[in-house]
Amino acid sequence: MTASGGQPDHIVRAELWEEWRGGQRVHCFLCAHHCLIDPGGLGVCGVRQNRDGVLYTLVYGCPVSTAVDPIEKKPLFHFLPGSLTYSLATVGCNFSCSFCQNADISQMPRDQGRVVGRPMSPQEVVSAAVLADCRSISYTYTEPTIFFEYARDCARLGSASGLKNVFVTNGYMTAQALRDIDGHLHAANVDLKAFTDDFYRKLVGARLKPVLDSIRRMWETGIWVEVTTLLIPGRNDGESELHGLAGFLASLSPDIPWHVSRFHPTYHLLDVPPTPLASVERAIRIGREEGLRYVYGGNIPGHSSESTDCPECGKTVIARQGFSVGDVQLTAGRCRYCEEKIAGVVD
């Protein structure tokens, strides 16, 4: 299948770029890397290419993975809890995390020089989500920013069909990208990987500030935000760093849920042991000390911190076991015991 101009259907003209100083070099401003790409070259993501002075996305309508997931898997605990979400991803990522859990697809263009997937139009994505009785579409597994044009078009059609749209993201998109999705992004789980620029530069290949800016920007524009931090022993689990991270979130709103997940060795970071349970519990305590009302442990099935407790009376209002939701004690988004409002889109 070939699109107009002789390109395959999944290779379409990209957006959010400009010619660089009148030559054939292009400046991509989709994400905070602001890549300057020579003819024939690729952006950091590996899926945006300069072809004769025009920037193309190589993955439009070409997902490598689709699935029907519980929304709790994203993880989103305060956005349509107990519902199903239609998940999709293309290959590629604008980060190079040494501990990536989905490196086989996120790092494929970088590690293998390959871009693969199967054709699936935005309309087909929406139809599949509706058929599966999903209430949302999640752009996940890899970084949705790098397949932005595809995700945005799916989101627009999804909204028109009554579906919500979710980014599971590293938060490295620009303000222009967020504006361009023009109200069709309803929730995001942002992976705030650490609270030092040194960690981001050495283990991720990026910087911290653009991520903090995105979290603030999304929250202030009404996108429901939850944040996940993978706690890696000796890398990002210092007490002062965790206080700083939790304090930053609380300064935006004490209602932002923080998921602190347990690390397991993977990809290139194999010489670090799994996170002790005590470290996760310490981070949960720090989050609460900093004023966050909803702090959860991740990758520790059966732990009491998986459930949502009312921040006013302390009773469990959403019981969870892994990704499964059990007893729910909410009425119109309020605790049935004391009528405290539970933050999020929870009914």
pLDDT tens track for 10-21: 899 999 999 998
Please indicate, yes or no, whether residues 325 and 203 belong to a single structural domain of this protein.
Answer: no
Model confidence, pTM: 0.96
User: 71 pLDDT exceeds 80?
Assistant: yes
Residue 48, in any domain of the structure: yes
- Phi-psi region for residue 117, left (φ > 0), alpha (ψ -120 to 50) or beta? left
Which CATH number goes with the domain that contains 227?
3.20.20.70
Domain co-membership, 210 together with 72: yes
Q: For residue 256, give Cα distances in angstroms to 107, 228, 292.
A: 30, 11, 7
- Let me know whether 70 and 48 are in one domain: no
Residues 28 and 121 in one domain: no
Checking if the pLDDT of 64 tops 70, the result is: yes
Q: Which of 314, 304, 307 minimizes the C-alpha distance to 337?
A: 314
Q: Say how many CA atoms lie within 13 Å of 347 toward its Cβ.
A: 10
Please give the structure tokens belonging to residue 197.
Answer: 């620029």
Q: Are 30 and 158 part of one and the same domain?
A: no
Range of the domain at 33: 12-57
> Do residue 253 and residue 188 come from a single domain?
yes
CA distance 30 to 26: 12
Three-class SS state of 334: strand
Q: Is residue 7 part of a domain?
A: no
Rounded to whole angstroms, how far apart are CA atoms 170 and 77?
Answer: 18
* Mean per-residue pLDDT of the chain: 95
Based on its alpha-carbon atoms, the radius of gyration of the chain, rounded to whole angstroms, reads 20
pLDDT at 346: 84
- 213-268 pLDDT per residue, tens: 999 999 999 999 999 999 999 999 999 999 999 999 999 999 999 999 999 999 99
Give me 85's structure tokens. 């979400």
For residue 1, being part of any structural domain is answered with no
Whether 16 and 76 share a structural domain? no
Same domain, 327 and 213: no
**Judgement on whether residues 109 and 219 belong to the same structural domain of the protein:** yes
On whether residue 89 sits in a domain, the answer given is yes
Percent residues over pLDDT 70 in the chain: 97
Within-domain flag for 82: yes
Quote the number of domains for the chain. 3
Same domain, 253 and 343: no
- The verdict on 189 and 216 lying in the same domain is yes
What's the pLDDT tens digit per position in 134-174? 999 999 999 999 999 999 999 999 999 999 999 999 999 99
Shared domain check, 344 and 220 = no
> Does any domain span residue 5?
no
Q: What are phi and psi of 89, to 5 degrees?
A: -155, 150
Q: Give the model's pLDDT for residue 8.
A: 64
Q: What is the pLDDT of residue 2?
A: 39
Q: Is residue 106 part of a domain?
A: yes
In a domain, 2, yes or no: no
